[in-house]
Amino acid sequence: MGISKRRAIGSLMAAASIVFLGVLTAGIVAGQSNTWVRQFGTSFTDKAAAVSVDQSGYIYIAGHTAGRLMDQTRIGGDSDAYVLKVDSLGNPVWARQFGSVGADIAWSVAVGAGGDLFLAGQMAQAPPNRAAVSGFATAFLRKFSSDGTELWARQFGAPGRAWATGVAVDPAGNSYVVGQTEEALPGQTSFGSKDAFIRSYDPNGNERWTRQFGAGGGDFAAAVAADGLGNIFVAGSSGGEITLIGQGHQVTIRPFVRKYRPDGTLVWERRPHIFGFARFLAAAVDSQGGLYVAGWVSGSLSGQTQAGGTDAFVTKINGEGNDIWTHQFGTPKEDRALGIAVDETGASYAVGWTRGLFPGQIGLGEGSLLERRDAFIHKMDSQGNGLWTRQVGTPLAQLANGVVTDGAGSLYVVGETRGPLLGQASQGTVDAFLLKLDAGPAGDTVEVQATAMPTIAESGAVSTVPPTKSNPTNLPPITPISSPTIAPVPEVPGTSACSAPQLGGGPVQLAWFLVTMIPAALAAAGGRSRHGRGSTLDEELP
């Protein structure tokens, strides 16, 4: 493709972005003027997978990039892992980027009581004494100080692939990393084609213990959380086959949760009896030791009503392994929860994506040519009652992958977007985003803060994008959910269906074509557009 044609296409894509800005909604929850969004990245593909916050209010974002963030060096391969530190106003402080010759991804980040941060993920590089092969992956855990100094790095695996998908830190500074391995880790036993694992390190990076486990099928540990006493909770899923009378073998996915003592002793394991498919993908603990797990289910959980194809859900479990409540929610289409956080009041927040339309929301992904996905934030009170849902999107695709609260009433959500989000400017084909919300009890609607919005430029500088002030009169109101859906109440009202707005074949559909199809054509022609691997951990793992 000639240079002149590329420039013409670039102009069309810029015009398409302007069209998108005209139809964006700032449908977000929050209460005061410090609500803001930051969209950042390079001219390639950039994604944010997880977020954590320290006691000083600094935010840490983990993900992967196919470009170069701030002053970092591009290593090579499909993508590099990164961690980005941002202040409470959304200004970047520093970035650390690293990788190998393949696809390297940071899936999880956690901050310890002393301010050090831990980053876990996968690296396409063989462990010592083994030649690298295409598609190979090993798990990694890295510890950084708050100023970005790397304190130590650990990389481990087996003859097959290994992934680190979650990390947590206990009050003593011990770290816990969970994930999946295709073969036996050193000193462990393989139980199937893919096993889950948890490994613990002391504050100096010395391995304390490792536990590998499985149910004989495809098992993976997706998330880990530590309570104030040092107890460790691991959440994940097991895949396998069951025999149904008259139907032969059927594939099933069942979630599990485990509790360990700090010394690695297994206290209990719970595997809910769910007929069909369900996954635990996120975990968080409250100040009382209660565990919250979030994910998706293809049917109905105990005492719940199915809303659509797959529903999002959150379950609260006490320290003894007993279910306290379950809240299943969604639209008539596909909905998945990918992240969970709990605040000091016991309210919990689930984030994820939807292909449908939540009550009272405007879903710009709904009704587009391929019915792309919108991000959502869903708040529940301490008893599991749904309070409000916020849906955020453009005619392309948005996913909310992680969420954290800061103890001061603010909520931080990270994810990825394929279009300009809430007045921001697109940097590349896929950008990462950070959204700050004031999650008040009523979820009052406010406009996006009209201040200059810094973005992380590929050149290493921090550029400023002129703000686009949202019109508060166009914001959809928050619709409270009047009927709680809590197990084991038998008959729970389902989510009412809402007709989706049809965007038609006008300029929005033209803009979708220009921004979505042209980058794909450029990639095929050797252009600068790159697409990463699975957008989320849920899609990346079997």
For residue 470, what are its two tokens?
């949202």
Residue with tokens 């992380």: 456
Residues 6+ apart with CB under 8 A from 255: 235, 236, 237, 238, 271, 272, 274, 278, 279, 280, 293, 295
Between the CA of residue 306 and those of 54, 298, 361, what are the distances in Å?
37, 8, 20
* String of DSSP letters for 305-334: ---SSBEEEEEEE-TTS-EEEEEEE--SSB
Q: What is the pLDDT of residues 15-64, one digit of tens each?
A: 333 232 222 333 443 333 468 999 998 989 999 999 999 999 999 999 99
Other beta carbons within 10 Å of 455:
21
Between the CA of residue 425 and those of 89, 396, 454, what are the distances in Å?
18, 14, 10
pLDDT of 453 over the 50 cut: no
SS3 437: strand
Check residue 209 and give its pLDDT: 98
Confidence of residue 178 (pLDDT cuts 50, 70, 90): very high
Scored b (16 or more CB within 10 A) or e, 113-135 reads: eeebbbbbbbbbbbbeeeeeeee
For residue 48, what are its two tokens?
């944010």
Q: Please state the pTM of the whole predicted model.
A: 0.78
SS3 489: coil
Residue with tokens 């929301």: 361
CA gap 4, 464 in Å, rounded: 28
Maximum mean pLDDT: which of 266-275, 336-345, 355-364: 336-345
* String of DSSP letters for 358-397: -TT---SSTTSTT---EEEEEEE-TTS-EEEEEEE--SS-
CA gap 234, 62 in Å, rounded: 20
Confidence of residue 469 (pLDDT cuts 50, 70, 90): very low
Sign, CA dihedral 162-168-169-174, equals negative
